[in-house]
């Protein structure tokens, strides 16, 4: 079983030699079969042979075309807060991937922490969750998390995120690359959102824009930065980011894009001496905590940092004698904000009058 980093080494072509060629050949063969299945499924929805169900209220889907982290949680929080400022009752709906039985998964716990006034329903049957949200919670707008490929619920707005640091999955479908579906699927998007836009040059942003536009020339194009907002400990106390200036820190994360977290730490002015990645959605057991405490003691550092998504699972303020804090990320729209808000305002105008 390959780790996430080993998989990326093969898929990106960084792993050289005959072993790398053989592995990529096997991955390519598997991706051809996967592609047949994906195209057949999309065709069934496009032709109406698979039903698409209406929720009865406007639905905004937040998703991506690649595997891994693209910044869906900060984007979902940004959208939820926007609707709440308009006094719209919004409910988040997700599948609950990686959750233990009877528990919320990491994204849900993080969003509950960030958005205490926004209900969050997790159910593998998202149609059933949507029915509960509308009929029992009186939701006026539904936000579907990680739902671009979940086509069973009709949506008013499809927001597709493209991570500037890993935009198109190395150009191949999984498992040869990281694409969930062919890039032609971008044609279904209403909004194309380049996330972590500040992590690459203006030339690279333009290159990504041009490639995306080859598959969709009509969607609203926005660019977002994921801005470190503050530090937070497990008790919910917030600390200013300037406490990290010039400090020696080590970090760990169980997310889809550790490189994005590395960039975030560097932007805070900290001296990162080590970053320990775990698999995405990793569930931290007592043995993991003990290993992290031993690792932290060996680093001679001022802080251990993690993502908010990791902190809600670890649930401690210190690793041994070293303070532990999460960097809380907030999204800002830096390009295309007027066009996006105009489209969201039209969506609010579509809410039935009797829903208020």
Q: What are phi and psi of 133, to 5 degrees?
A: -60, -40
Annotated binding-site residue? 20: no
Place of tokens 């009797």: 354
Is the separation of the CB atoms in 25 and 108 below 8 Å?
no
Could you give the domains of the chain?
A: 59-226+332-355 (3.40.50.300), 228-330 (3.40.120)
pLDDT tens, residue order, the chain (356 aa): 777 778 889 999 999 999 999 999 999 999 999 999 999 999 999 999 999 999 999 999 999 999 987 889 899 999 999 999 999 999 999 987 655 555 666 777 788 888 889 999 999 999 999 999 999 999 999 999 999 999 999 999 999 999 999 999 999 999 999 999 999 999 999 999 999 999 899 999 999 999 999 999 999 999 999 899 999 999 989 999 999 999 999 999 998 778 878 888 988 999 999 999 998 888 899 999 999 999 999 999 999 999 999 999 999 999 999 999 999 999 999 999 999 999 999 999 988 776 55
pLDDT of residue 101: 58
Is the separation of the CB atoms in 163 and 226 below 8 Å?
no
CA 222 to chain centroid, in Å, comes to: 16
Annotated binding-site residue? 309: no
Whether the bond into 175 is cis, omega within 30 of 0 = yes
pTM (2 d.p.): 0.88
Annotated binding-site residue? 16: no
The two tokens of residue 35 are: 């592609």
Annotated binding-site residue? 177: no
Annotated binding-site residue? 66: yes
Annotated binding-site residue? 70: yes
Helix (H), strand (E), coil (C) string for the chain:
CCCHHHHHHHHHCCCCHHHHHHHHHHHHHHHHHHHHHHHHHHHHHHHCCCCCECCCCCEEEEEECECCCCCHHHHHHHHHHHHHHCCCCEEEEECCCCCCCCCCCHHHHHHHHHCCCCCEEECCCHHHHHHHHHHCCCCCEEEEECCCCCCCECCCEEEEEEECCCCCHHHCECCCCCECCCHHHHHHCCEEEEECHHHCCHHHHHHHHHHHHCCCCCCEEEEEEEEEEEEECCCCCEECHHHHCCCEEEEEECCCCHHHHHHHHHHCCCEEEEEEECCCCCCCCHHHHHHHHHHHHHHCCCEEEEEHHHHHHHCCCEECCEEEEEEEEEEEEEECHHHHHHHHHHHHHCCCHHHC
Of 353, 348, 350, nearest in space to 87 by CA: 348
Place of tokens 């303020």: 317
Give the alpha-carbon dihedral of 12, 276, 274, 204, to 10 degrees.
30
The two tokens of residue 264 are: 């975030």
Give the β-pairing of 248-253 and 303-307: parallel
């Amino acid at each position: 079983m390959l780790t996430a980093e080993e998989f990326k080494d093969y898929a990106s072509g960084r792993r050289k030699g005959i072993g790398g060629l053989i592995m990529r050949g096997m991955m390519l063969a598997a991706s051809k079969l996967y592609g047949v299945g994906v195209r057949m499924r999309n065709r069934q929805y496009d032709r109406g042979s698979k039903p698409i169900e209406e929720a009865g209220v406007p639905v905004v889907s937040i998703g991506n075309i690649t595997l891994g982290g693209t910044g869906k949680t900060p984007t979902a929080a940004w959208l939820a807060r926007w609707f709440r400022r308009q006094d719209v009752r919004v409910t988040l709906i997700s599948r609950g991937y990686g959750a233990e039985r009877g528990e919320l998964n990491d994204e849900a716990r993080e969003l509950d922490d960030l958005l205490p006034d926004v209900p969050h329903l997790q159910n593998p049957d998202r149609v059933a969750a949507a029915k509960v949200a509308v009929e029992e919670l009186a939701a006026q707008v539904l936000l579907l998390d990680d739902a671009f490929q979940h086509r069973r619920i009709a949506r008013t707005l499809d927001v597709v995120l493209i991570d500037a640091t890993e935009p198109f999955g190395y150009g191949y479908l999984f498992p040869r690359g990281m694409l969930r579906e062919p890039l032609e699927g971008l044609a279904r998007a209403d909004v194309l959102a380049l996330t972590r836009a500040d992590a690459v040059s203006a030339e690279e942003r333009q290159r990504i824009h041009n490639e995306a536009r080859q598959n969709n020339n009509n969607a609203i194009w926005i660019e977002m930065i994921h801005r470190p907002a503050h530090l937070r400990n497990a008790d919910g106390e917030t600390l200013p980011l300037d406490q990290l200036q010039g400090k020696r820190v080590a970090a760990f994360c169980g997310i889809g894009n550790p490189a994005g977290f590395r960039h975030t730490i560097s932007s805070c002015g900290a001296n990162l001496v080590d970053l320990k990645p775990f698999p995405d959605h990793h569930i931290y057991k007592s043995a993991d905590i003990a290993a992290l405490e031993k690792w932290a003691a060996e680093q001679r550092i001022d802080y251990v940092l993690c993502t908010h998504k990791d902190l809600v699972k670890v649930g401690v303020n210190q690793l041994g004698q070293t303070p532990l804090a999460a960097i809380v990320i907030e999204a800002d729209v830096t390009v295309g904000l007027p066009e996006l808000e105009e489209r969201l305002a039209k969506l609010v105008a579509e809410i039935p009058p009797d829903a208020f």
